[in-house]
Amino acid sequence: MDWHAPDESAWQRAKENGAYVVLLLESDWCPFSRRFREQTLESPEVLQRLAHDFVCMRVPADRYPELDRRFGGAGWPTLALADADQNPLDQTGPLKAGELVERLAAWAEGRPGVDAPQDLEMASVSEQVMQRLLASADPEYGGWGQRQKFPHPEALHFALVRWSREGDPRMLRLVTHTLQHMQAGAIHDRVEGGFFRYARTRDWGHPQFQKMLGSNAQRMLAYAEAYQALGNETFRDTALGIYDWMQQSLLQPEIGAYSASQDEDSEYYHLPTREQRARREAPQTETWIYTDRNAAAVCALLKASVALDRNDLAEQALRTLDFLVEHLYRPGKGAYHAWDGKASGTGLLADQAALLRAMTWAMHSTGTRKYLDSAVELARFTLHAFGAGLPERVRPMDGSLVDRLHEIQSRGAVGERTELLPANAQFAEALLRLSYMAEAPDLRQEAARILGAFRHDWPRFGISTADYGRAIDLFVHEPVQVTIVGPRHGDLTRALRREALRPYIASRVVQVLDPEQDSASMEQAGWPTQRGEAEAVAYVYQAGRCYARTSDPAQLPFLMTRLGQERTL
């Protein structure tokens, strides 16, 4: 099939034939443009539809910016529809061949503006979850609950994401109000840092004095992320206070991982100074290493490292993650639950989800790809062992994952379902991020199946629906992606990666591809290896369409935040 050059002859032919014009807006440096041409536009069904019904024009967007602005503007590749008088009618991003044939059929029948297939019911769930969280929050002291109050930092994380998309002041107030009241409340140990497990009163007073690794890691992430988004210095101080307590009280320095908790001792914690506490024996710690809680600590340390500009936190995160991968993960067996000198306990779904999440965050935050093969193996093992690989009589038929066999009951009525929504949601979110890093769209489809399994009965899970809402949000609003092509440890590569992570953006995936170390995967995915004079280049894209490339670290945050605003707000 012949593609017309972008000149008047194509428009004239469209007028003579009474046909619409299809414009392919692309860029020579964009790997998605090449992939779209080779994998979709060369399909016989697509070629037949294009040749029979349209006048087709190929537009190198870099050389014809005026046409790109008029008919595209949403990245490359874009397939745009126009009439013979050069009026824009519709556009779409890269689709698979079957989807594009359906789209072209609608265009040929004069039905522009037909949306690509999507699950509109799923798209509304994120909003519904957020509204429930807003309605049930404590308007005076923040958080949730009247008699006992747990922090639920995962709900604050979700609220911050939604606020960044919509600018709803109620969501921002929920985050800041809760974090500030927790800081000021007795639940916060302002002497040694960290937070107690929960408060017995709604004003965050009368705490249960045990300190838990998992919940403190989640709170550190919440405060670090809020500092990144809002710049409140007290949030920074609180996050660092949690880190200091973790290092001093829970870290087992000989192995680099964290104990699970520090015991309750009300007399000790009522002492108001470090000097007074130093004259007493500190509360004991439980020495067991648990996979899910240490993996949560890895994610919190990685976020805090970026938000607080502390490289030592990332170094600690990778040391902890390396311990988990070496001692608590086995290919073909997944993640174990705990370690006390040796791995023990069949891993729960929560362990698999937490470890997979930590692996993806480590690759995103530090530029390493050392965990990629293990992450893909763990993802596929979990999908099989906790889903399709279960005996038929207990296998979930709706796409969700279930935990141990002895916990599975009848799957007749919805009320009898025993799946843990947070673990399913966290695993689905990790799958989504991994699908981009591994160029594995089937993992995104698996995530969609898991999330879709709960689309009708999610309200019964209470506050824990926040994880679900966040995962749905990531599915509906594809992340801003930055791929940096350059020497992994080069100065420019490091600078680009640092700036790609610096601004607060609701959803992003950052990765580094080294032309020497990652040449095979780059060639398979279509990433250009010839960089000209630049040592490293950052490519900014979203939903399979390139938007910009730059070798200027100072320009990168602007390109990312502009894209995030244009595509998600």
pLDDT band at 533 (very low <50, low <70, confident <90, very high): low
Give the pLDDT mean for 481-498: 96
Residue 567 has pLDDT above 60, yes or no: no
Please state the rounded mean pLDDT for residues 538-545: 94
Q: Which two tokens stand for residue 403?
A: 């935990």
Edge-first strand listing for the sheet containing 211-212: 211-212, 261-262, 285-286
pLDDT grade, residue 122 (50/70/90)? confident
- pLDDT value, residue 411: 41
In 3D space, the residue among 372, 469, 395 whose CA is nearest the CA of residue 429 turns out to be 469
Is the pLDDT confidence value at 120 over 70?
no
H-type helices in 22-168, by residue range? 31-36, 44-53, 65-71, 97-108, 120-136, 153-166
Rounded to two decimals, what is the model's pTM?
Answer: 0.91
pLDDT at 528: 81
- Asked if 242 and 303 count as a contact pair (C-beta separation under 8 A), the reply is no
Helices and strands per DSSP (H, E), number in the chain: 22, 20
Whole-number average pLDDT of the chain:
91
- Kindly report, residue by residue over 419-478, the tens digit of the pLDDT: 589 999 999 999 999 999 999 999 999 999 999 999 888 998 888 899 999 999 999 999
Question: By the 8 A CB rule, do 252 and 321 touch?
Answer: no
pLDDT category of residue 385 using cuts at 50, 70 and 90: very high
Residue 71 in tokens: 């008919």
Confidence of residue 116 (pLDDT cuts 50, 70, 90): very low
* Residue 128, pLDDT above cutoff 60: yes
Bridge-based pairing state of the strands 198-199 and 88-92: unpaired
Tell me, what's the pLDDT at 532?
54
Query: Please, are residues 348 and 311 in contact by the beta-carbon 8 Å criterion?
Result: no
Predicted pLDDT at 174: 97
Quickly tell me which residue has 């104990």 as its tokens: 259
| Residue 454 to residue 555: CA distance in whole angstroms | 41
Report the DSSP beta bridge partners of residue 79. 24, 92
Higher-confidence position of 388 and 364:
364
Instruction: Say if residue 297's pLDDT is above 70.
Output: yes
DSSP 539: E
Residue-wise pLDDT for 86-100, tens only, equals: 999 999 999 999 999
Tens of pLDDT, residues 390-435: 887 777 778 899 886 445 443 443 334 455 899 999 999 999 999 9
Residue 566 pLDDT exceeds 60:
no
**Domains recognised in the chain with CATH numbers:** 8-108 (3.40.30.10), 137-327 (1.50.10.10), 342-476 (1.50.10.20), 480-568 (3.40.30.10)
pLDDT of 312 above 60: yes
Taking only the tens place, the pLDDT of each residue in 162-209 is 999 889 999 999 999 999 999 999 999 999 999 999 999 999 999 999
Partner residues linked to 503 by β-bridges: none
**Burial label, 558 (beta-carbon count in 10 A; 0-12, 13-18, 19+):** middle
Can you list the pairs that 47-51 forms with residues at least 24 positions away whose Cβ atoms lie under 8 Å? 47/1, 49/101, 49/104, 49/105, 49/108, 50/1, 50/22, 50/104, 51/1
